[in-house]
Amino acid sequence: MTHDELERALAELPFRLLRGLGRAIAGPPALRMGKRRLIHTIVAGAEANSARIEATFRTHQAEQGALAAGPAPAGGASSEHKSGNPADLRALLEGIGVPEPRPFVPDDWQVEAVEALERGDVIVSVPTGSGKTYVAVEATRRAMYEDRTVVYTSPLKALSNTKYTEFCKLFGPEFVGIITGDRRDNPTAPILIMTTEILRNLLYDAAGGEIDVRLDTLGLVIIDESQFLADPERGVVWEETIIFCPSQARLLLLSASIGNPHELAAWLTCIRPTPCHLVRHQHRSVPLRAAYLHPNGKLTPLFRTVTMPPSPSQAVLHPEAKRLFTLFEEDTVYARRSG
């Protein structure tokens, strides 16, 4: 067998066998090697270890034969299969689904935010999926009731389109308009959805005396994804929008990821006519579940689940995820180098 043929044959071996062989040839350092380095190490020591290498190929052939002969009896699965314990995956995915319908009751922070808008500007800084839309919709409803116009801005055209559809359903299409780089529908409606750049440009025009839309009756400006204020390139648009926002309008800033909301609230209080109230909490109503999807389609929990026995080394990663990362470590390093 030439070195090239050996390399190709080794690449076909399960990582478990490859690592065992690598360890027999190079000792404990092999345990820290990725697949590519293991193969190089084995090929480099092939002449002196031909018997070991042949034995490993025989083991692999025997395992393949056993697999082809039918499923292993219960408890007899290979260690590779054992480590992807399906019970862990069940624990990871448990509870996902459509919850039982129940009456909608706003959370305390949602009520607090809507009420605080009566007195001044509001920043809502709560995790993703907490229900910031409710605050925006309820505040819009109140502004409409007082015959004030509302502008809802988002950083993306796609998000603006989604909000437009959502608000049309809630308030009726005759009351909702959209202005983005691509669309301009019903631009004199009392509720206008637009990208933040468009609002900034409207405010520029208004500053020059050319009022395009109903900014004179503007009662509420909702700035979704307001963490963009910190964006090195686009942040200035958010900053100018806030600075030029008419004094009679209330500002509602929504975000799941502002690092320094207190500082932002203090700044708004400083530059705006009314004090800014901060509504903040970190409770996730939808917990995050981290998993790793292997290219072979196998889903593995990324972190150890509570149902697993405690790890003596206090490891955080799931052993199967760790095994897969080790397997691809070298490829990642190579890809980074060549990239």
β-strands 250-255, 176-179 pairing:
unpaired
Interaction with Mg ion in 78-137: which residues (CB under 5 A)? 132
Question: CB 133 → Mg ion: shortest distance, Å?
Answer: 5
Calculate the dihedral angle through the C-alpha atoms of 315, 317, 320, 324, rounding to the nearest 10 degrees.
Answer: -120
154 phi, psi to nearest 5 deg = -140, 160
**In whole angstroms, what is the distance from residue 279 CA to residue 256 CA?**
11
**133: contact with ligand ATP by CB under 6 A:** yes
- For the bound state, the minimum distance from the C-beta of residue 192 to ligand ATP, rounded and expressed in Å, comes to 19
Choose which of 128, 188, 307, 311 interacts with ligand ATP (CB under 6 A).
128
**Least distance CB 138 / ligand ATP (angstroms):** 10
Contact letters for ligand ATP, residues 79-118 (x by CB under 6 A): ---------------------------xx--x--------
Instruction: Give the HSE-up count for residue 90: Cα atoms under 13 Å, Cβ half-sphere.
Output: 5
Among Mg ion, ligand ATP, none, what does residue 128 contact (CB within 5–8 Å per kind)?
A: ligand ATP
**H helices present in the chain, as ranges:** 3-11, 15-26, 35-44, 50-68, 79-83, 86-93, 108-116, 132-145, 157-171, 196-207, 235-244, 261-271, 319-338
Q: Which helix (H) or strand (E) holds 279?
A: strand 276-280
Among Mg ion, ligand ATP, none, what does residue 106 contact (CB within 5–8 Å per kind)? ligand ATP
Size of interface with ligand ATP, in residues (CB under 6 A):
11
Q: Which of residues 211-270 bind ligand ATP (CB under 6 A)?
A: 256
Task: Between 4 and 100, name the residue whose CB sits nearer to ligand ATP.
Answer: 100
Chain residue whose CB lies nearest ligand ATP: 131
- Summarize as ranges the residues that interact with ligand ATP (CB under 6 A): 106-107, 110, 128-134, 256
